[in-house]
Amino acid sequence: MNKSKIILILALIAAIIAFFAFDFGRFFTLDFIKQSQTQFGMLYAQKPLLVIGSFFAIYVVVTALSLPGATIMTVAGGAVFGLGVGLFVVSFASTIGATLAFLAARFALGETVQKKFGARMAEINKGVEKEGAFYLFTLRLVPLVPFFAINLLMGLTKMKTWTFYWVSQVGMLLGTAVFVNAGTQLAKIDSLKGILSPGLLGSFVLLGIFPIIAKKIVDGIKKRKVYAKWSAVKPTSFDRNLIVIGAGAGGLVSSYIAAAVKAKVTLIEAHKMGGDCLNYGCVPSKALIKSAKVAHQMRHAANYGLQGTQPTFSFKAVMQRVHAVIAAIEPHDSIERYTGLGVEVLQGYAKIINPWTVEIAMNDGSKRTLTTRSIVIATGASPVVPPLPGIEQSGYVTSDTLWDKFAHLDTVPQRLIVLGGGPIGCELAQSFARLGSNVSQIEMAPRILIREDEEVSKYALDSLTADGVQVLTSHKALRFESSNGAKALVVEHAGVEKRIEYDELICAVGRIARLKGYGLEDIGIPTQRTVETNEYLETVYPNIFAAGDVAGPYQFTHTAAHQAWYAAVNALFGTFKKFKVDNSVIPAATFIDPEVARVGLNEQEAKTQNIAYEVTKYGIDDLDRAIADGEAHGFMKVLTVPGKDKILGVTIVGVHAGDLLAEYVLAMKHGLGLNKILGTIHTYPTLAESNKYVAGEWKRAHQPTKLLEWVKKYHDWRRG
C-alpha cells in the first residue's frame, strides 16, 4: 500500500474519530433540527446561497465519510428549504457524497481486494459489467443493505464511476423525495395537535408504504426487462389461465387447485398419469416390500409361537400383484377423474415456445398450440445411469423399468446386483433378498444411507446383512464384462479389482430432473441440476413456475405436492399476493425393515452446520406394544435446542417409523416442543407411545433438581 493511500485512510479515520470525540452527532438529531428551525429559516431568508452551500457541503462530507446523520439531514432539508429546493439540494449532495465514498474505497482498498480475491472478484466483476447498473438501482430503490455499505462495497468492484453516479442519482430520487416531504410536514408542527395533521400523517404513511411501492416498481422493471424480447409475441388474450406440464404429484396437485378455484387449466402428460410415484416408485416398491415382508415373516413364524416355513410362490404372481396394486390406485390419478374435476387433460409432449405459448405434440400425431397466463413445470425426475464401460450391453434395469421387465420372469433373479446404497437401492436389495435372490449391493461411499447418522447406517447394514444381502461399501464400479454368456460387474476395493457375476442388475444410483425437450433452454430458463427458481417457485419468468423433483431440492412425492400448492396459487393469484414456499419441515422415510424416518436435522448435519444441540434417545426395545408385536428393535433420537424443548430434528429407526414421524412433523411445523408431546394422551398400547416416552426422557434430563430437593424437604416435614 503506497503512501498516499495510507494518508487517505488515516485522514478518514481521524475525521470519523473527531466526529464522535467532539459529539458532532448531537447536531444530527430531530430535536436539534426542530429547536434550530426558526434560526435556520431566518438565516436562509437572509443568505440563501450561503445556507444552501453550507448545507450542501456538510451533507457531502457526512455521506462521503459514511457518518450517521444523512437521514436527519434529508428531513432537515425539507424542513428548511421546502420540497422543491430541498429535494434538489439533497439529491445532488447525497449522490456526490456517495460517489466520493465509492472512490475513496476504490482508491484505498480496491487494488488490494482485487488481488487478494482475484478469482472471486473476477466473477463479481463480470456480473457487475452485465447487470451491475440494474442491481445497484434495485439496492438504491429498495435498500437490502445500508446505503453507506453499498457505496463502499461497490467501490471495490470494477463498476464505472459514471455508472455508479447516475444510477445512484436516479435510484435514490424517489426515496429522497419521501423523506424530504416528511421534513416539510414536520416543519409545520407548532403544537401536539400538529402531529395529527393530515399532511404529517400522510408523510408517515408514505414512509411506511414506500418500501412496498419501491418493490413494486423494481418488480415491474424486472418484468419489463425479462419479457422485453418477447413483447411482440405476447397475446392480447389467453386460451388458458394455467398450463401444467407433467402429471406426477406436482402436476396433479397444481391442476387440481387451479380447477378448484374455477381457473381454466390444461394438464399435459406424454406418458402415464400419476407419474413416477404411482407407476415406478412409491406404489410398486411398497407393494413389493409387503410381499417380501410376508415371506420373511413366514420363515420366522417361530418368533410368534408358530411353525416357520419356507414360502413357496410364483415370482410372476408377486409381480402381478404389484401391477394389480398400481391398477387399483390408478383411478385416483386418472384422466377421467381429473376431467371430472374440471381439468383438461392432453396426452402429448409439451414444449414452451415463449413465456405464454405451449406447443403440444399429441400422442395421436396431431399438434396443438395454446396460450396461457401462467405455466407450471412439473416434469419430475428420471433414474441416473452412470457412464460405465459396457453398461449399455449389461442388460441393466432401473427403478423405472424393472417392473415391466421383471413381470415376465417366472422366478426371482438368482444372482442380483443392486448398484447404489441410497434409499431406493436399500429397499430393493432387502426386498429381493427376502424373496430369495442372492443380492450383492454395491456402494462407492464408505457406508449405505450416507445422509443419515452413522448409527442409522449401521442399523440398516445389520438389517440388510441379516436378510442375506452382501453389502459391499467402498466398492467402486469400474466396468461391465461378458464372456460365454456370463455377465459380470468389475469393481475396485482398496486398490484390488473384483469380478461379480450376475443374472440381473438394478441401477439405483440416484435420480436427475427431467429438463430436456421442454423448450426451457430455448427461452433462456436457467437449469443446472434442476430448474432455477426463487422463493416463490418462479423461474426467471415470473409467470413460469416449477414444482417437485424438477425444482428440487428434495425428490419426494409429498414435497412435490407441497410445492404444487405454492406454484399454483402464486401462478393464479400472484398479482395480489405471493407466498414463499416453506421447505423448513420436510419429512423423509426409507422403507427398509426396520424403517428409517427423519425430519429436520440429524447429528451429522448439525455438526456440519455448527448448530448447538442436545440429544435425547429412547430405545423402542423398551416399548410394550413393540415387545408384544415382536418388533422390539430400533430407537428414537430427538435433537433439541440446548436447555429447551424446541425440536431441531428427529430420527426414528423402527417398525412404522414413517407413521410415527408424523407427530413430530406437526410439532415442528407449529412450534410445539417436547413438553406438549409429553402432555398429550397416547393410546395404550400403541407404537405412538414411543413419542411420549422420548419426551419423558428429555423431561427427566431437565428436571429442576434444586426445586425437587426443597419439595422433598416439604414432604419430609409433612410426615412429621
Half-sphere exposure of 482 (CA within 13 A, CB side): 12
H helix runs in 228-271, sequence order: 249-260
CB 230 within 8 A of CB 355: yes
Domains of the chain, each with CATH number or no CATH? 3-223 (no CATH), 240-383+513-573 (3.50.50.60), 391-510 (3.50.50.60), 594-705 (3.30.390.30)
Identify the three-state secondary structure at position 571: helix
CB 325 within 8 A of CB 284: yes
Least confident of 89-93, 330-334, 340-344, 636-640: 89-93
Nearest in space to 640 (alpha carbons), one of 698, 693, 703, 704: 698
Q: What is the mean pLDDT of the chain?
A: 88
**Higher per-residue pLDDT: 466 or 59:** 466
Q: How far is CA 21 from the centre of its chain?
A: 47
pLDDT at 41 over 80: no
Nearest in space to 674 (alpha carbons), one of 632, 648, 646: 646
pLDDT at 5 over 60: no
Q: Is beta strand 486-493 parallel, antiparallel or unpaired with respect to 476-483?
A: antiparallel
Distance between CA 625 and CA 682 in Å, rounded?
A: 12
CB 461 within 8 A of CB 440: no
CB proximity list for 627: less than 8 A, separation 6 or greater: 621
Distance between CA 71 and CA 207 in Å, rounded?
A: 12
Nine-digit cell string for 652: 426414528
Question: What is the residue whose three cell numbers read 456440519?
Answer: 608
Identify the three-state secondary structure at position 512: strand
Instruction: Tell me how far CA of residue 655 lies from CA of 15, 590, 619, 622, 635, in angstroms.
Output: 70, 11, 12, 14, 10
pLDDT at 214 over 70: no
Nearest in space to 417 (alpha carbons), one of 487, 370, 326: 487
Phi, psi of 622 (to 5 degrees): -95, -5
CB 427 within 8 A of CB 404: no
Distance between CA 289 and CA 655 in Å, rounded?
A: 13
Asked if omega into 685 is within 30° of 0 (cis), the reply is yes
Nearest in space to 571 (alpha carbons), one of 541, 607, 597: 541
| pLDDT at position 174 | 75
Phi, psi of 343 (to 5 degrees): -95, 130
Nearest in space to 276 (alpha carbons), one of 139, 161, 399: 399
pLDDT at 368 over 70: yes
**For residue 51, which amino acid is it?**
V
Distance between CA 695 and CA 662 in Å, rounded?
A: 15
| pLDDT at position 107 | 79
Nearest in space to 651 (alpha carbons), one of 694, 696, 692, 610: 694
DSSP secondary structure of 336-379: HHHHHTT-EEEEEEEEEEETTEEEEEETTS-EEEEEEEEEEE--
pLDDT at 78 over 80: no
Nine-digit cell string for 503: 443374472
Distance between CA 424 and CA 451 in Å, rounded?
A: 13
| pLDDT at position 142 | 63
| pLDDT at position 196 | 42
Handedness of CA 670, 673, 679, 680 (dihedral sign): positive
Nine-digit cell string for 131: 447487470
Phi, psi of 683 (to 5 degrees): -60, 140
Phi, psi of 606 (to 5 degrees): -60, -40
Q: Quick one: pLDDT band at residue 194, thresholds 50, 70, 90?
A: very low
- E strand segments, 246-311: 265-269
Q: Which helix (H) or strand (E) holds 273?
A: none
Determine if residue 380 is left, alpha or beta; phi over 0 gives left, psi from -120 to 50 gives alpha, anything else beta.
Answer: left
- Exposure of 208 by Cβ count < 10 A (0-12 exposed, 13-18 middle, 19+ buried)? exposed
Distance between CA 62 and CA 207 in Å, rounded?
A: 22
| pLDDT at position 201 | 47
pTM of the model: 0.77
Least confident of 182-196, 484-498, 548-562: 182-196
Nearest in space to 278 (alpha carbons), one of 331, 350, 349: 331
pLDDT at 343 over 80: yes
| pLDDT at position 12 | 59
Nearest in space to 636 (alpha carbons), one of 597, 591, 592: 597
pLDDT in tens, 411-463: 999 999 999 999 999 999 999 999 999 999 999 999 999 999 999 999 999 99
Nearest in space to 362 (alpha carbons), one of 266, 240, 256: 266
- How far the first Cα of the chain sits from its last, in Å, is 83
pLDDT in tens, 247-281: 999 999 999 999 999 999 999 999 999 999 999 99
DSSP secondary structure of 22-47: TTGGGGSSHHHHHHHHHHHHHHHHH-
**For residue 201, which amino acid is it?**
L
Partner residues linked to 570 by β-bridges:
none
Nearest in space to 157 (alpha carbons), one of 182, 179, 132: 132
CB 405 within 8 A of CB 388: no
